[in-house]
């Protein structure tokens, strides 16, 4: 229990500070969460869910936490750009785990709340009480519990019933500062009945020191509501990301999730989706392009609780050098969830003798009138295709890049925001041609 003790002591010693700087609603969940964390402890190699994901070395590092809520001097919008050409997004920034006030005076539609989760929970405790920590609080994940115990800020978006936000929203989560630090970021997204939104979360880093982001995002999608949710990670080899995303979906709602890992160190993304209302629909997709020593681990759990829902999963990995990829996708169909249709597909391209891939596609089904299937395949670039392209005068590098591009095309094509799709196209293309070292588009690194 060595590593846990550090955090338990930190929690106890700074209990007052945590209380002082956070909304009462946030604070009220801490005791239960720390208890859960103490009981569970950090997952080790014997925990089935984390068997392939070695975090020991990362947890040895003595991270600093910004408990006193100090803010870094320059406003991030001055120094950081992650622009999607011809896509005018509304930008929000979280640096380390501090939300930076929106410099743009233009407000979103009437009734929409957005901004610092801490401030909004303080201001609207009654409105937010049914949502905050409702799903994460049920999770057995130690990192989610640690987040609930320690988190002090993050981003919140609340879209009231019937409001449709056309403009895509973009949240940029940054690491900044010279010290080794851990950020417990907490996000909450509520899309009420009949509302819709498009949210893009980009993770970047402006420092080369070791950073650990332990983030929890709870998403509530109401009846007939629509959400497009994009995640893009472009950090660096010293960055560790542990992300827990919980999505609850109500009847006739539609959720689209797309997660892309381009540059990172160690990433573990848990995505838990529950379909709680009939006729709900979801499409979850992801793409990991890994090289050098990158490690990416996607754990996707889809739970069909009620009948007549449709879920699809599409995850692709390309592994080079000594990178490692893990994909664990699970579809759980509850006893009465008849007429469920669930499909899961995972394909991986292994290009180096030292790259490693683990796939665990799982089905757990307790209802009979269902159509569930999964497929997983791992292989390499077809030599015949390569030969064909070379015989047409393409260099080997170019031919390989094109074939890899074709391999991932269906994940990128699925992106519904056209400008974003083009941007990802561009980034992925650059990446395959090895023209991109770290986060392109940022002025600092």
Partner 1 sequence: MKSTEDKDIITQVTAGEYKYGFVTDIETETIPEGLNEDVIRLISSKKMEPDWLLEFRLKAFRHWQSMEKPQWAHLDIPEIDYQKMVYYAAPKSKTSGDNEEDIDPDLLKTFEKLGIPLQERKQLAGMAVDAVMDSVSVKTTFKESLAKKGIIFCSFSEGVQEHPELIKRYLGSVVPYTDNYYAALNCAVFSDGSFVYIPKGVRCPMELSTYFRINAINTGQFERTLIVADDDSYVSYLEGCTAPIRDENQLHVAIVEIVVHDRAEVKYSTVQNWYPGDKEGKGGIYNFVTKRCLCKGESAKISWTQVETGSAITWKYPSCILAGDNSVGEFYSVAVTNNHQQADTGTKMIHLGKNTRSIIVSKGISAGKSQNSYRGLVKIAPKASNARNHSQCDSLLLGDTCGAHTFPYIEINNETAVVEHEATTSKINEDQLFYCNQRGISTEEAIGLIVNGYAKEVINKLPMEFAVEAQKLLQVSLEGSVG
Minimum separation from the CB atom of position 216 to partner 1 (A)? 27
Residue 293 binds to partner 1 (criterion: CB under 8 A): no
Residue 371 binds to partner 1 (criterion: CB under 8 A): yes
| SS3 state of residue 286 | strand
Minimum separation from the CB atom of position 358 to partner 1 (A)? 5
**Nearest in space to 182 (alpha carbons), one of 286, 64, 328:** 64
Residue 370 binds to partner 1 (criterion: CB under 8 A): yes
**Nearest in space to 375 (alpha carbons), one of 363, 357, 361:** 361
Structure tokens at 61: 């590092």
**Nearest in space to 176 (alpha carbons), one of 234, 98, 240:** 98
Minimum separation from the CB atom of position 134 to partner 1 (A)? 28
Choose one: 5-13, 118-126, 357-365, 410-418; the region binding partner 1 (CB under 8 A): 357-365
Residue 356 binds to partner 1 (criterion: CB under 8 A): yes
Tell me if 343 sits within 8 A of 314, measured CB to CB: no
Minimum separation from the CB atom of position 376 to partner 1 (A)? 4
For the four alpha carbons of 331, 279, 306 and 194, in that order, the dihedral sign comes to positive
Give the interface size with partner 1 as a residue count (CB under 8 A). Answer: 36
Measured CA to CA, the distance from residue 237 to residue 244 in angstroms comes to 20
Residue 110 binds to partner 1 (criterion: CB under 8 A): no
Choose one: 269-277, 282-290, 374-382, 394-402; the region binding partner 1 (CB under 8 A): 374-382
Minimum separation from the CB atom of position 194 to partner 1 (A)? 33
Choose one: 133-141, 154-162, 200-208, 345-353; the region binding partner 1 (CB under 8 A): 345-353
Residue 308 binds to partner 1 (criterion: CB under 8 A): no
List the one residue from 292, 362, 397, 416 that touches partner 1 (CB under 8 A).
362
Measured CA to CA, the distance from residue 432 to residue 317 in angstroms comes to 13
**Nearest in space to 117 (alpha carbons), one of 197, 244, 217:** 217
What backbone torsions phi and psi does residue 117 show, to the nearest 5 degrees? -65, -35
Tell me if 36 sits within 8 A of 133, measured CB to CB: no
List the one residue from 110, 166, 369, 443 that touches partner 1 (CB under 8 A).
369
- Judged by CB under 8 A, the chain residues 404 through 433 that form the site for partner 1 are none
List the one residue from 39, 104, 335, 406 that touches partner 1 (CB under 8 A).
335
Residue 338 binds to partner 1 (criterion: CB under 8 A): yes
Choose one: 84-92, 235-243, 344-352, 400-408; the region binding partner 1 (CB under 8 A): 344-352
Burial zone of 10 (CB within 10 Å; 0-12 exposed, 13-18 middle, 19+ buried): middle
* 107 CB-near residues (< 8 Å, 6+ apart): none
Residue 363 binds to partner 1 (criterion: CB under 8 A): yes
Q: What is the DSSP string of 112-145?
A: -EEEEHHHHHHH-HHHHTTTTTTTGGG---HHHH
- Judged by CB under 8 A, the chain residues 47 through 86 that form the site for partner 1 are 48
Q: What is the DSSP string of 185-210?
A: EEEEEEE-TT-EEEEEEEEEES--S-
Choice between 2 and 379, CB closer to partner 1:
379
Minimum separation from the CB atom of position 372 to partner 1 (A)? 4
Footprint on this chain of partner 1 (rule: CB under 8 A): 48, 319, 335, 338, 348, 350-380
């Amino acid at each position: 229990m060595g590593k846990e003790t550090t955090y338990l002591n930190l929690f106890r010693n700074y209990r007052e500070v945590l209380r002082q700087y956070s909304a009462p609603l946030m604070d009220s969940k801490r005791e239960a969460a720390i208890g859960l964390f103490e009981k569970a402890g950090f997952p080790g190699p014997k925990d089935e869910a984390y068997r392939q994901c070695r975090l020991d070395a990362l947890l040895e590092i003595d991270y600093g936490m910004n408990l006193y809520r100090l803010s870094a001097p320059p406003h991030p919008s001055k120094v950081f750009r992650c622009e999607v050409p011809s896509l005018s997004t509304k930008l929000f920034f979280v640096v380390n785990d501090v939300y930076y006030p929106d410099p743009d005076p233009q407000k979103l539609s009437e009734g929409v709340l957005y901004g610092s989760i801490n401030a909004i929970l303080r201001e609207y405790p009654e409105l937010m009480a049914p949502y905050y920590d409702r799903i994460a609080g049920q999770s057995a994940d130690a990192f989610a519990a640690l987040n609930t115990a320690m988190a002090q800020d993050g981003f919140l978006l609340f879209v009231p019933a019937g409001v449709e936000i056309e403009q895509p929203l973009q949240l940029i989560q940054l690491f900044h500062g010279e010290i080794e630090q851990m950020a417990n970021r907490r996000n909450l997204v509520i899309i009420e009945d009949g509302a819709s939104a498009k949210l893009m979360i980009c993770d970047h880093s402006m420092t080369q020191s070791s950073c650990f982001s332990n983030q929890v995002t709870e998403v509530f999608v109401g009846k007939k509501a629509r959400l497009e949710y994009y995640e893009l990670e472009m950090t660096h080899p010293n960055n560790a990301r542990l992300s827990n995303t919980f999505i609850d979906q109500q009847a006739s709602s539609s959720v689209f999730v797309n997660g892309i890992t381009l540059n990172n160190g160690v990433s573990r993304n848990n995505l838990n989706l529950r379909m709680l209302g009939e006729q709900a629909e979801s499409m979850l997709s992801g793409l990991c392009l890994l090289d050098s020593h990158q490690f990416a681990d996607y754990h996707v759990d889809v739970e069909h609780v009620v009948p007549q829902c449709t879920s699809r999963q599409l995850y692709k990995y390309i592994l080079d050098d000594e990178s490692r990829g893990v994909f664990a996708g699970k579809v759980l169909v509850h006893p009465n969830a008849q007429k469920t249709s669930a499909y899961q597909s995972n394909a991986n391209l292994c290009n180096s003798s030292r790259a490693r891939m683990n796939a665990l596609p799982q089905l757990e089904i307790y209802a009979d009138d269902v159509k569930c299937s999964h497929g997983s395949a791992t292989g390499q670039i077809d030599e015949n295709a390569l030969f064909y392209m070379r015989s047409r005068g393409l260099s080997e590098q170019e031919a390989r890049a094109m074939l890899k591009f074709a391999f991932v095309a269906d994940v990128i094509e699925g992106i519904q925001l056209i400008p974003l799709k083009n941007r990802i196209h561009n980034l992925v293309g650059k990446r395959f041609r090895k023209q991109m070292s770290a986060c392109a588009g940022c002025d600092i690194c």
